[in-house]
Amino acid sequence: MKKVGFFLTLVFFCFESESKKIFNAKSHKFDNGLRLIVVENPRAPIVAQMIWYNFGSNIEERGKSGLAHFMEHLMFKGSKKFPENYFSNFLSKIGGSENAFTSYDYTAYYQTFPSNHIEKMIELEADRMKNLTLTKKNVETEKKVILEERFQRVESDPSSQLDESMRSILFPNNYYGRPIIGWKHEIENLTYNDVMDFYKKFYSPDNAILVLSGDVKFSNAKKLVRKYYENITKTKKKKIVDLSDPDLKTSTNVELKHQNVKQQIWKRIHRAKSYNQSISQSIALDLGMKILAGGTSSILYDEFVNKQKIFSMIGGFYQGLAKGDGYIYFYAIPNKEMSQNEISRLLDEQIEKAINEKISKKKLELEKKKYYYDSIYGMDGILKPAEIIGEALTIGLKLRDIEDWNKKLEKIDLEMVKKELKEFSDNNNFVTGSLKN
């Protein structure tokens, strides 16, 4: 089963020497618009191939939600040259692995495999960009799979239902307010013609970034990619209308009661700036959120779980990798039933106190070190560079932004972190939700 709405954590390796680039990635753009990125890493005879399409659910027409995710599933159905499960079977035989995911702003497919099979894997990925042989039976069969997936992930999960409702209120005019998997009644009405029209319009080289990471030379990669992609022509791009959301003028509280809920859950989602608006400010906000609410060592957890014992769990995170607005997500599980307003008041008071008194230079330096060491572990693999680069480029960042990330991180100071947290805490564009029996 393919992953839905898979959001990657952007963690960058901070070299001690600021003069070094993070990945030393090499880039080439072909005449048909396809962009190739190569990260050479010959330590092991393995390659990760990721193709990132510059669209997700953001490209869907109103009334046809779920098309991008639907198409992601159908991309595994085979072509005339490589029918049915040939792609997946071949990958399995050579000891590789694969998956795919759809987000609001991008769709990605990836494989890891022994490097001596790189030409075949490039050929297979290029082939399905334009040569799928879908049937009406394929579409109807897969529609049932997706509806069952939605049932498992959303319809039978009260927490997911609450999140859907909260996002639809927070982003009333934007595709971020629609579920990536789609609304059930709209999935049911999607047709073979809807799918084929979507495929022909948007699956093209000028809408794609191909990232190869691992035991591959840039010069050889260019030759192979040119060989298998050069005859695929670009399509006329559809301009995406930028629909921004109005400020929320009222306090919005959502409550969902469900018989399967055993313990109350409180949630709040804020609109926030994204890395596209400011990389430095977003890094500062991310660091501040980690100090404030990121895990069992955070300020909020220590105060409300360890000391006051009001909650059994509390946390939050910042997600700023988006073409439009980012968001901040908080959650809390009270030890006894409490009103939404009471929980919100406690949280707001403690956030203000944390900004003024508890977020220190020492805590900030510790969090920056965690970035450093966490990223060392992350960069030890072959796939992670392809994930980081592909996601960053598809949401609108530049390759130089990624390569120079460590320089921006080093310049973040306590004043910047507090400023971003204060701005977020004064932001009234949020929705509060409660899940209870």
User: Residue 425 class from Cβ within 10 Å (0-12 exposed, 13-18 middle, 19+ buried)?
Assistant: middle
Q: Compute the average pLDDT of residues 213-240.
A: 91
Give the catalytic positions in this structure.
72
Looking at residue 10, its pLDDT comes to 42
Q: Which residues contact 355 (CB under 8 A, 6 or more apart)?
A: 418, 421, 422, 425
Spell out the domain ranges in the chain: 3-229, 252-436
User: Tokens representing 368?
Assistant: 């920056």
pLDDT tens for each residue of 232-243:
999 876 667 677
Q: In angstroms, rounded to a whole number, what is the distance separating the alpha carbons of residues 47 and 95?
A: 12
Reduced to 3 states (helix: H, G, I; strand: E, B; else coil), residue 406 is helix
Q: Compute the average pLDDT of residues 212-224.
A: 97
Looking at residue 322, its pLDDT comes to 95
What is the chain's length?
A: 437
Looking at residue 1, its pLDDT comes to 41
165 neighbors 91 (Cβ within 8 angstroms) = no
Q: Matching CATH topology for 3-229 and 252-436?
A: yes
Report the predicted TM-score, pTM, of the whole model to 2 decimal places: 0.92
pLDDT tens for each residue of 89-139:
999 999 999 999 999 999 999 999 999 999 999 999 999 999 999 999 999
Residue 328 carries which side chain, given as an amino acid letter?
A: I
Q: In angstroms, rounded to a whole number, what is the distance separating the alpha carbons of residues 287 and 270?
A: 17
Q: In angstroms, rounded to a whole number, what is the distance separating the alpha carbons of residues 240 and 100?
A: 23
Phi, psi of 90 (to 5 degrees): -60, -45
User: Tokens representing 120?
Assistant: 């075949």
Give the distance from CA 107 to its chain's centroid.
10
Residue where the block lists tokens 């987000």: 103
Q: In angstroms, rounded to a whole number, what is the distance separating the alpha carbons of residues 4 and 120?
A: 27
Q: In angstroms, rounded to a whole number, what is the distance separating the alpha carbons of residues 110 and 290?
A: 29
351 neighbors 421 (Cβ within 8 angstroms) = yes
Reduced to 3 states (helix: H, G, I; strand: E, B; else coil), residue 141 is helix
Q: In angstroms, rounded to a whole number, what is the distance separating the alpha carbons of residues 283 and 395?
A: 16
Q: Compute the average pLDDT of residues 364-374.
A: 85
Residue 201 carries which side chain, given as an amino acid letter?
A: K
Q: What is the largest CA-CA distance in the chain?
A: 65
Reduced to 3 states (helix: H, G, I; strand: E, B; else coil), residue 47 is strand
Residue 79 carries which side chain, given as an amino acid letter?
A: S
Residue 95 carries which side chain, given as an amino acid letter?
A: G
Among residues 175, 198, 179, which one has the least CA distance to residue 74?
198
Looking at residue 405, its pLDDT comes to 86
Supply the CATH classification number for the domain 3-229.
Answer: 3.30.830.10
- Distances from the Cα of 16 to the Cα of 22, 125, 153, 193, 295, angstroms: 11, 37, 43, 54, 27
pLDDT tens for each residue of 2-48:
443 333 344 443 434 344 677 889 999 999 999 999 999 999 999 99
Give the torsion through C-alpha atoms of 21, 22, 23, 25, to 10 deg: -40
**Mean pLDDT over all residues of the chain?**
91
- Sign, CA dihedral 54-56-57-62, equals positive
Supply the CATH classification number for the domain 252-436.
Answer: 3.30.830.10
- Bridge partners of 299, per DSSP, are none
Looking at residue 12, its pLDDT comes to 43
